[in-house]
Structure 1
Amino acid sequence: MSAFGWRIDLTSSKDKIARLPRVVIAGRPNVGKSTLFNRILKKRQAITDPTPGVTRDTIKQRCFLKGQEIMLMDTGGFKLERDDDFDELVSEKSLNMLQEGDLVLFMMDVNDITSEDETFIEHLRAHKEKVLIVVNKVDFPEKENEIWNLYSLGFEEIIGISATHGRNIEELYGKILSMIDFSRFDGSRESEYEPDISIAILGKPNSGKSTLVNKLTGKENAIVSPIAGTTRDVVEGRFSYKGQQFKVLDTAGIRRKKKVVENVEYYSVNRAFKAIDDADIILLLIDVNEGLTDQDKKITQQIVNKGKGVIQVLNKWDTTDGSKETWDKTKERVEFLFPILSFAPIMAVSGLKGTGVDKLLDEVQKVYRQLTKRIETSVLNESLMVWTDFTPIPSVKNRRYKIRYMTQVSSHPVKFLAFVNRFSGFPDSYKRYIMNQIRKEFGMSKIPISLELKERS
């Protein structure tokens, strides 16, 4: 186990491999890998676009093929002409996935066989027995004849499909199932690994989200690069900490709308916002060297509106002097700029070095316990009587107000409903007073709560 102590891996038992079989979709950019990934999943999980190289990180999803469960993995495109170190990272990760996969679906475009295809094929020869050549964009039966020439590549298993139109997809499923020996795998452990807590990491581009995800999971789940906007799809990782299972979602960096000009980035940002719905707790990552932006504030509004737990994470703390004075000044500035998050904890970490991460996860567990807390109606109303006796509701224009009773209608998000004798003109200040008393008395100081008033005569 690593020094951090929270990582989990699914290792082999004596008889069977204790995980689901991994089916890796690989190939050069723009041959339809993500389209096929979405077709198999029957939903739009991966971003697709005519722009080459849209998929960067490897994204994975459990799914069933004719009753058999697999782990399907979509990879970034392999390039020969690499414009920068980033292309190198994507291509290297795609090649590394050949080792991890139990079956490799190598995708080619029937209309265009390139030198990148030929070079990738040379890397595949060492894994020949687990490679299925999938020739895409065979949209018409007439295109089938062009597939026969590809048998000269030396691979026995080849099939022509149209990922866009669904042509020959059922036949592809049959090929996949015939090439996997399911008796070698025990996916029960992986299948039962449902997270206790789901975390989404949000923040502006290049604030260190992917670095933190990789530190948490102990794996290179996400590609890390100094290029802003590296992550596009939502990348999922898993780990355990102090007896609880966690799922962590690495999201695309969110920028101001006028800067979101590409279709790809538009979908990336939308998915980042959707990750808020899928998570229990949001880690709002703030680069301590760059401070806060208006876009950070817009993210927080979305989080609070949905009643999610949130922790403000000052990342790259290792680049500061780490003094109490620096901490106090930074914390004070964050609190001043984010009054809407007055309840939210503020933590300092280094995603790169791992310092502060244990304390951050401890805080995540505390926030989650508050999110899932339920208060009995009788206990709540006993406290309500004490609060209203101690601080009566002020009259407004000679109108007297009374809270008849109150109940908690939901946890996660935490919502309360109070029945009042008169709704119109009920003092907002008193509503805030009641919410503050709930936080204080029932240990809900770290989460957003809402209180709705309903008139009952």
Structure 2
Amino acid sequence: MKKGIVAIVGRPNVGKSSLFNRIIKQKKSIVENTPGVTRDRIYGTTEWLTREFIVIDTGGITLEDQPFAKEIKIQAEIAIEEADVIVFVLNHKEQLTEEDKMIARILYKTKKPVILAVNKYDKKTNDYVQYEYMSLGLNEPIMMSATHGIGIGDLLDSVIKLLPSANDLNPDMNSRIAIIGRPNVGKSSLVNSLLNETRMIVSEIPGTTIDAVDSVVKVNNIEYTIVDTAGIRKKSKIFRNIEKYSYLRSLTTINGSDIIILMLDSSETITDLDTNIGGLAFEEKKPIIIVANKWDLVEDKEKKILEKEEEIRSYFKYLAYAKVLFVSTRDKTRISKIFSSIEDIKVGLTKKIKTSVFNEVLNKAQLINPAPNFNGGRLKIYYGSQVEAYLPTFVLFVNNPDYAHFSYKRFIENQIRLQFGFEGVPINIIFRERK
């Protein structure tokens, strides 16, 4: 399920990073009094009133001729374009500036919901000062303090009201399949093979695709939306603004997709960048298929296939649930298996396990391998059940969740997968104290 996106914008030194840290409940952005410290967009995921959404912290938009000023403005504008809701932050301790008014003019053109948040406010100040901010024409401001937590609840309530519903975020209802990977692994060639036509520009020059492109294909009377994305590079190699734009589009495409195809070049060694890209999809809890392309370039295929899969598994230990397919987009071999894997994932996402059967598996698992002593006690699982959720989610009622060692959590997950499948699908296991 796609999450809504909230962008925090404003001129330098109004407290955007402090607000970002307060919302995501961790110190991720650098907070300093020096204007312009946040140069690139910084992302975080948070939850309010059971609604999960992504927050983007942006660099301050400024008129001054400072280093990175132009780049910061472009990055902020990109974030504004991708956002569903925009929080425009002002500094209550300073008067409105030309930069504030310039940002307001930019926001007028977006036609997106804008929340005016006046930071560094204390309740000792008279309320009449709010009318000065209303002159910007962006509705009544929310007076707040990111440092002291004043008004944060009101701000987040407003954000939740303005975020689009899940149906609005996924209007076509088709399964959205995003293809991600580093440059030149054959993403566009795979799209062409899946569509059985030349829809994308295919080139040996890395970085030909600079935007996410949607294409609809029907297979066995089932429609799929295939999304080709720009190749994700190392951050140190993202120089041009257009590449930063592509990087953001790739991230938002992952967020908005139902299933992810992670493409690798099977003729080359796995790189750290490959594993980092896979981590982006893993962190978003997305079903994943690992597709190793260019298998036609590998010699002694029959001998190498097990060796290559073992290599891939060793690099992607956190994606143990993902299926690995070896394909050749040039020869169009094994391409059809991608769609059958997608259908298997869709079955896994909707699979419901009877509580009685699930508890039999739990009991047998504890007999096979009793939980070890951890944190001063031994975990005892009394019973469990599957609950309604987008991803398969199981709640286990135990004597004390603190006794659950991570290795035993992994053992329980492996037992669930062994008995019930869920290949390609991440599952959630929640340990809850029985009361």
Q: For residue 425 of structure 1, report the CA deviation from its aligned partner.
A: 3.2
- Secondary structure of 1:247's counterpart equals strand
Aligned equivalents of 1:429, 1:334: Cα separation in 2: 22
Q: In the alignment, does 2:366 pair up with 1:388? A: yes
1:305 alignment counterpart: 283
Instruction: Show CA shifts across 1:351-370 (max 9, x none).
Output: 12311101222222212211
Aligned mates of 1:215, 1:164 — CA distance in 2: 41
Say which of 419, 431, 453 aligns to 2:397: 419
Preserved CA contact (<8 Å) 1:372 1:411: no
Q: TM-score, normalised by structure 1?
A: 0.55
Counterpart residue number, 1:435: 413
Q: Is the 8 A contact 1:307 1:414 kept in 2?
A: no
Output aligned runs, 1:45-194, within 5 Å.
194=172
The whole-number CA distance in structure 1 between the counterparts of 2:390 and 2:297 is 36
Match of 2:355 in 1: 377
Alignment of 1:320-331 (within 5 A): 320-321=298-299, 323-331=301-309
2:247 aligned to which of 245, 269, 272:
269
Paired letter, 1:446: G
Provide the C-alpha distance between the structure 2 equivalents of 1:289 and 1:338, rounded to a whole number of angstroms.
17
- 1:195–1:247 contact (8 Å) kept in structure 2: no
Partner of 1:203: 181
Alignment-mate amino acid for residue 360 of structure 1: I
Structure 1's 333 and 393: CA in aligned 2 closer, same or farther, altered over 3 A?
A: closer
Aligned residue in 1 for 2:212? 234
CA contact (8 A) 1:307 1:412 kept: no
Cα distance change of structure 1 residues 292 and 396 upon mapping to structure 2, 3 Å threshold:
closer
**Where does residue 216 of structure 1 map in the other structure?**
194
CA RMSD in angstroms, aligned pairs only = 3.0
State the secondary structure of the residue aligned to 2:401.
Answer: coil
Structure 2 SS opposite 1:424: helix
Once the 2 structures are TM-superposed, how far is the Cα of residue 338 of structure 1 from its aligned partner?
Answer: 1.6
For the pair shown, the structure with the greater C-alpha radius of gyration is: 1
Q: Structure 2 counterpart of 1:434, which letter?
A: I
The verdict on how the C-alpha distance between 1:438 and 1:216 changes in structure 2, with shifts beyond 3 A counting, is same
1:154 corresponds in structure 2 to none
1:212 shift after superposition: 1.0
Counterpart residue type for residue 321 of structure 2: F
Q: Could you list the structure 1 runs, at least 4 aligned residues long, displaced by more than 4 angstroms after superposition.
A: 163-166, 193-196
Q: Counterparts of 2:296 and 2:249 in 1: how far apart (Å)? A: 30
CA contact (8 A) 1:420 1:455 kept: yes
Q: Residue 444 of structure 1 aligns to a residue in which SS?
A: coil
2:316 matched to which residue of 1?
A: 338
Q: How far apart are 1:165 and its partner, in Å? A: 8.0
In structure 2, distance between residues paired with 1:258 and 1:409: 42
Offset of residue 197 of structure 1: 2.4
For this pair of structures, how many residues does the alignment match? 275
2:233 is aligned with 1:282: no
Aligned residue type for 2:255: D
Alignment match, 2:99: none
Deviation at 1:251? 0.3
One-letter amino acid matched to 1:273 = L
Q: Which has the higher contact order (CA 8 A, sep 6+)?
A: 1
Q: Residue in 1 aligned with 2:294?
A: 316
C-alpha distance in 2 between matches for 1:401 and 1:257: 42
Distance 2:401 2:108 in 1: 56
Compare 396-405 and 261-270 and name the one that shifted more.
396-405
In 2, Cα distance between equivalents of 1:399 and 1:165: 59
2:146 match:
none
Change (3 A) 1:288 1:374: same
CA contact 2:344–2:423 (8 Å) conserved in 1: no
Query: What is the DSSP-based 3-state SS (H/G/I as helix, E as strand, rest coil) of the residue aligned with 1:318?
Result: helix
Give the partner amino acid of 1:202: I
Question: Do the aligned residues in 1 keep the contact of 2:259 with 2:287 (CA within 8 Å)?
Answer: yes
Q: Is the contact between residue 359 and residue 384 of structure 2 (CA under 8 Å) also seen in structure 1?
A: yes
1:293 aligns with 2:304: no
Report the alpha carbon displacement of residue 398 of structure 1 after superposing the two structures with TM.
6.3
